[in-house]
Structure 1
Amino acid sequence: MNKRKLFLVYLLNCIAGVSIGFYCLQRNAETGAWVLVSVVMVLAPDRDDAVKFDFNRIKANLIGALTGLLLTLIHPSNVHTMALGVLLAATICEFLNVKSATRSATVAVILISLAPAGKTFYEVAAARAIGVGSGCSIALSLTLLSHAIIPVFRKKAEHYSSQFGNFE
């Protein structure tokens, strides 16, 4: 499949992901926002690396979200817990051999740790962690689904091409 068609598949995945994320945003603003952000962050335009990229981004987001959530449960966010969270997330990425995900994981720690005024850190961290996990799952599902559908369409196109001639 040529690069333009693969890019079209990526764009369709983005449209589907944004639509699902926006629906989640309408249902629950705090969690839905993180679903939306995570879907777009995890989707990848390159078919060859898409699944590997998705898994690395999922690992990064989950490492960051869980690290931020756990530290928030231990102590409300301050410079020390954020710094510790960044160190822990980077160390976990190194230990799990997902160095390409380190930056995303450390950013996720900080984003999970920030709480807007009027909400507890626990509520915000839990909502963001749930949103990140859900968004990553949606993006991975879209990627796997589109990669499963592409060969089916390719076989049908080859079948019709062999029966009726190539019209390209």
Structure 2
Amino acid sequence: MIDKLRTKRVLIYAAKCVTGVLVVLGLSWLVNYKDIIWVLISVMLVLSPDGSDAVTLAVTRIKANVIGAISGFSLILLHQNMVLMMCVAVFITVVLCNLFRLEPATRTALAATIIVMTHEAGAHLWDTAVERVLSVLAGCLIGLLITFIFHNKYASQAAEIILPKIVDKGGE
């Protein structure tokens, strides 16, 4: 019984991750957007393998991502010394996550901070950073949408019908 539940959870999580990849690739193709890595990373950071609190955890991770992205972006604008500003941004991100009680998602926030801050400068110091902030936010929203889709009652009922057949066939 425990193995079946674990297998079901792993299959649902894998399906969410694959769905995230397909949605990002499809949308990027539709809008002709090439720099998809940051969107993909953000989607994967928002998705959760555990179904019991997946929506709550996704929302928490999105809030943390926003804090990280804003911290990184703000400090890029403040000063050009990358080492100093990244250290300050990481510190601020950790403190803000703690103040907003988002500790479980602090690593996600730190990833967003670093994604926004590490880039080659374009025509302006901040142009790539703006694109990365938007990529992180788009990835977060896609991850949240996937979480809602996979964890609504109809998806759960469909999984109950389909997955036992898959798990039983795997045990034969």
Instruction: Give the TM-score band, short-chain normalised.
Output: 0.7 to 0.9
The residue aligned with 2:47 is 43
Aligned length: 155
Distance 1:67 1:82 in 2: 9
Which of 3, 6, 19 lines up with 1:3 in the alignment?
6
For residues 100-119 of structure 1, what are the structure 2 equivalents within 5 Å? Answer: 100-116=104-120, 118=122
Distance 2:12 2:145 in 1: 14
Q: How much has 1:70 moved relative to structure 2?
A: 1.6
User: What runs of 5+ residues in structure 2 fail to find an aligned partner?
Assistant: 162-172
The residue aligned with 1:61 is 65
Q: Any conservation in 2 of the 1:43–1:50 contact (CA below 8 Å)? A: yes
The residue aligned with 1:73 is 77
Q: How much has 1:25 moved relative to structure 2?
A: 4.7
Which of 5, 21, 25 lines up with 1:22 in the alignment?
25
The residue aligned with 2:147 is 143
1:7-38 deviations in Å (ceiling 9; x for gaps): 222222111100122234552223x2211111
Q: With structure 2 as the length reference, what TM-score do the two structures score?
A: 0.78
User: What runs of 5+ residues in structure 1 fail to find an aligned partner?
Assistant: 158-168
Instruction: State, as a whole percentage, how many aligned pairs show the same letter.
Output: 33
Distance 2:159 2:136 in 1: 33
Q: Any conservation in 1 of the 2:54–2:151 contact (CA below 8 Å)? A: no
Q: Any conservation in 2 of the 1:60–1:102 contact (CA below 8 Å)? A: yes
Q: With structure 1 as the length reference, what TM-score do the two structures score?
A: 0.80
Distance 1:144 1:108 in 2: 22
